[in-house]
Chain A
C-alpha cells in the first residue's frame, strides 16, 4: 500500500477505536449519574422510582422545617401545593434555604415515600426561582405563595 494511504488508514483506525472507547465510557458514565426531576405531585402519584437518584423540587412548606437539636439532621417538606414530599437531609443547608422559599433536593426516595437527600439546592439570589420549581408550580396551577392562579 502507498505509505500516505497506509498512514491515513492507521489514522482512521486509531480515531475509530479511540472514539468508540470514548463513547463506551460516556454511556457507562451516563447510566448511573443522571437524575430526573419530579414535582411533588408526581412523587405522590407514585411516578417517581424508589431507590434511584432523583430530584424533587418545590416550595418549602411553612412550619415544616424541623431541626434535630444534637446533630445536623433536618426534616422539611416540599410542596407544589398539590402534594407534599417529606425530605430528610443531614448537613449544612445553603444560605438562601428557608420556609416559603423554592428549593430542589436530590437524593433517593425510600419505601415510605421520604426523600433521603444528599444535596439541597436553594435559589442563589432574592428574585430568582429554580426553573424546575417554577415549572412544577406552573403545572399545579399555583403561584409561589400557594394562591391558585
Chain B
C-alpha cells in the first residue's frame, strides 16, 4: 500500500510541476498577475508531494518490503538500519527520486525566500525550475519508477547494498553533491528568466548570487566527501582518480567557481553580464551532463547503476533540449543585456577575468578528457581511456597559473589600480612567501622543489590576505571594532581563499612526499616507513552485523613510543558473498598512516599488505571545508536581505567588501 501512495504522490508532484512550468510562464508573458501568483504555491505543493513520495520509499526500505523491486535488489534484512536508509539513494531509481526531491526543495526555497523579488521575475524563475522538474519527474515515471513491484515472485530476502556503499560517508555524500548539482538550477533559472525579460542589472546579480554561492558550497562539500570516502573506503589510499564520474561532479564545480567570481563583478560593477549568464547556463548544463554520464550507463564505475539504453536516450534528449534551448535563447537575447562599462587593465576586473579564463579552460580540458573515450568509441575508432597523467599534466599548470592572480585579486581595486600600488602592497608578502617556500619544506626529510613552490604560492596568498585585512582594520578605534566592521562577504572570500591555499599545499605535499609500500608480511614482521615502525602483531577473525572478516592487528611505534594501533580488515559480506577491504588509518594534521590488507599469500599466514605514509593529506579536505564555509558566510551579508525598495539601486553602487 505504502509504495502505491508514494507512486501516486509522485504523479501528483509531476502534475504540479507541469502546471508550474506552464501557467506562471504564460502569466508572465501575458502579464496576468493571477496566473503568476500561482507559482509559489505550486512550488511548495510540488515539494510536499515529492517529499511524501520520498518518505514512502524510505519506509519501504526500512520495513524490508522486498516486494518493491529496488528494495529487493539493493537492501537486505541484515543491513543495519542506517544503511537501509542510505540504500534509498544507493541505486538508480532512488537516487533520481533524491534528485527530484532536492530540485523541489530548491524550487520551494526560492518561492519562500524571495519576497523581495518582483512577481514577474519570480514567476519566470519558478517556471523554469518547474520545467526542469517536469523533465526529471517524467524521466522517473516513464523509465525508472522506484515503486515498481515484484508481484508475484517476491523474494524472501534482498540482494544487499553494494558493500562499498555501506559507509557513513556515503550516507551524506549524495545528498550534499545533489544539493550542489541541483542548486545550480537556481542560477540557471535566474539566467533564463533574465534573458526572457531582457533585463539584466546589478539587482539581478544580487538575487542570483547567494543561491549560487550556497549551491557551490554544497557541491564543494559533496566532492570533498567523495574524495575522502574514496581514500578510506576503496582501500588503495588514493583520493582523486580523475575517474569520469568524479570529473562529472568536478566540471560543474569548475564552471561554478568561474560563475561565482564573475557574478561578483556583475553585482559590483555591472560588468560581464552576458558572460555571467552564459556561465550560469554552462554550469547547470555540466550538472545535467554529469547526471547523464553517471545515470545512463555509458561510464563504468561504482556510481553507474543503470545500463538501460532507453534511460540514456531520454537524458540525452532532455540535455539537448535544455542546452540547445537555453543557448538559442542566449543567442537571441544576449545583445540586449550586454554591458557598456569600461575598466582599466590593471584592476580587479581584469584579474577576475583571468580567473574566469583559467577556470573555463580547466573545465574544457577536463570535459575533453572525459568525453574523448566516449567520442572515439561512438566513432568506432577504438576503446581508449584517458588516464590521470593527462589530467595532471594539464590541470596542475593551470592551477599554478591561477594562484598569482588570486594573490593580487583581493588586494587590488575595482575599475582602476596601479602596478606601483601592487608593488608596495605585496613587496613584503612576496619576500616572506619566498622565504617560507625556501625553508618550510626543510622540515621534511628531503627537499622538494614542487612543495617549495606550493608553499611559496600559498604563503603569498595568506600573507596578501592578512595584509589586506590589516589595512581594513587599522583605521578603526580598536582592532575589535575594525574586525566588526568587515562584512560577511569579505570574511567569506577570506576564508575560502585561505581554504584554497590549504588545499593546494595539501595536494602538492601529499603527492610529492607520499610513501607507499606494498609488500608481503607475516605476523611478527616489521616494516619501517618514514621513521614509523609498522609491526604486524597478529591475524584474528572478526565479525560484524552482516559480514565476517580477517583482521590484521598492527602496532605503529616511532622511536620506541607507541603511535597507533591499527586494525585493517578483509571482509566477506554474507548476503552477496562480496569481499571488501577496510583500511585502517591513523589520522593527524601533518600525516596519515594507512594500512590496508591485500590477499593471503602462501600457506603460512602471510598477507600482501599496503602501508602508506601520507603527509598533510587532511589539509586538502580541511581546505575544501573552509572554501564551503566561506561561500556559506557570504550569504549572511546584509545586502542580500534588503527589502524591495533597494532593489532598483544603480549598478556599480560602491559597497565595501568582496
Contacts and interface: CB of A to CB of B under 8 A. Distances in A.
Contacts of A125: 162, 164, 302, 576, 578
Interface in A65-117: 67, 69-72, 91-93, 95-96, 106
B161 to A, nearest CB: 10
Interface string B343-377: 00100000001000100010011001100100000
B598 A35 contact: no
B608 interface: yes
Contacts of A70: 520
Interface in B284-307: 300-302
Given A22-B361, A124-B164, A125-B578, A35 B300 contact: no
B393 A25 contact: yes
Interface of B: 162, 164, 235, 300-302, 342, 345, 353, 357, 361, 364-365, 368-369, 372, 382-387, 389-391, 393-394, 397-398, 518-520, 576-581, 596, 598-599, 601-602, 608, 610
Contacts of A96: 578-579
A33 B393 contact: yes
A124 B389 contact: no
Given A26-B394, A34-B372, A67 B601 contact: yes
B302 A124 contact: yes
A30 B608 contact: no
Contacts of A10: 345
Residue of A26, A37, A67, A128 with highest tally of chain B CB at under 10 A? A26
A13 to B, nearest CB: 12
- Counting contact residues on chain A (CB < 8 A from B), the size range is 35 or more
Interface string A1-17: 00110010011001100
A19 to B, nearest CB: 7
A135 B383 contact: yes
Interface string A24-48: 0110111011111100000000000
A72 to B, nearest CB: 5
Interface string A105-147: 0100000000000000000111010111001000000000000
A128 B164 CA distance: 14
Contact of A72 (B301, B382, B518, B576): B518
B520 A34 contact: no
Nearest to B297: A131
Nearest to A93: B599
Contact of B389 (A19, A22, A29): A29
Contact of B610 (A18, A92, A132): A92
B39 to A, nearest CB: 39
Given A36-B383, A72-B598, A126-B577, A29 B518 contact: no
Nearest to A4: B342
A69 B601 contact: yes
Contacts of B389: 29, 32-33
Contacts of A72: 518-520, 598, 601, 608
Contact of A30 (B162, B390, B579, B596): B390
Nearest to A98: B579
Interface of A: 3-4, 7, 10-11, 14-15, 18-19, 22, 25-26, 28-30, 32-37, 55, 67, 69-72, 91-93, 95-96, 106, 124-126, 128, 130-132, 135
A7 B345 CA distance: 8
Nearest to A30: B390
A29 B579 contact: no
A19 B300 CA distance: 31
A33 B601 CA distance: 33
Residue of A22, A37, A95 with highest tally of chain B CB at under 10 A? A95
A84 B90 CA distance: 37
Residue of A30, A35, A70, A135 with highest tally of chain B CB at under 10 A? A30
A33 B579 contact: no
Contact of A26 (B345, B353, B365): B365
A46 to B, nearest CB: 16
Contact of A34 (B301, B384, B519): B384
A125 B162 CA distance: 7
Contacts of A33: 386-387, 389-390, 393
Contacts of A106: 385
Contacts of A55: 383, 385
Contacts of A124: 162, 164, 301-302
A60 to B, nearest CB: 14
B578 A19 contact: no
Contacts of B518: 72, 91-92
A34 B369 CA distance: 10
Contacts of A32: 389
Contacts of A128: 300
B580 A22 contact: no
B300 A131 contact: yes
Contact of B385 (A7, A25, A34, A91): A34
Nearest to A67: B601
A72 B516 CA distance: 14
B578 A22 contact: no
A70 B604 CA distance: 11
Contacts of B342: 3-4, 7
Nearest to B389: A33
Contacts of A11: 353
B578 A130 contact: no
23 contacts: A3-B342, A4-B342, A10-B345, A18-B361, A26-B394, A30-B390, A32-B389, A33-B390, A34-B384, A34-B390, A35-B387, A36-B384, A37-B384, A55-B383, A69-B602, A71-B520, A72-B519, A72-B520, A72-B608, A96-B578, A124-B162, A124-B164, A125-B164
B393 A92 contact: no
B361 A37 contact: no
A115 to B, nearest CB: 15
Contacts of A132: 383
Contact of B393 (A14, A28, A35, A126): A28
A120 to B, nearest CB: 12
A11 B349 CA distance: 12
A67 B600 CA distance: 10
A12 to B, nearest CB: 12
Given A7-B342, A72-B598, A132-B383, A92 B357 contact: no
Contact of A29 (B164, B385, B394): B394
Nearest to B300: A131
Contacts of A15: 357
Contacts of B384: 34-37
Nearest to B301: A124
A37 B599 CA distance: 27
Contact of A95 (B383, B387, B580, B602): B580
A35 B390 contact: no
Contacts of A34: 372, 384-387, 390
A73 B342 CA distance: 65
A8 to B, nearest CB: 10
Contacts of A126: 576-578
Given A72-B601, A95-B235, 19 more contacts: A11-B353, A15-B357, A19-B361, A22-B365, A25-B365, A29-B391, A30-B369, A30-B386, A32-B389, A34-B372, A34-B384, A37-B384, A72-B520, A92-B598, A95-B581, A96-B579, A124-B162, A125-B162, A126-B578
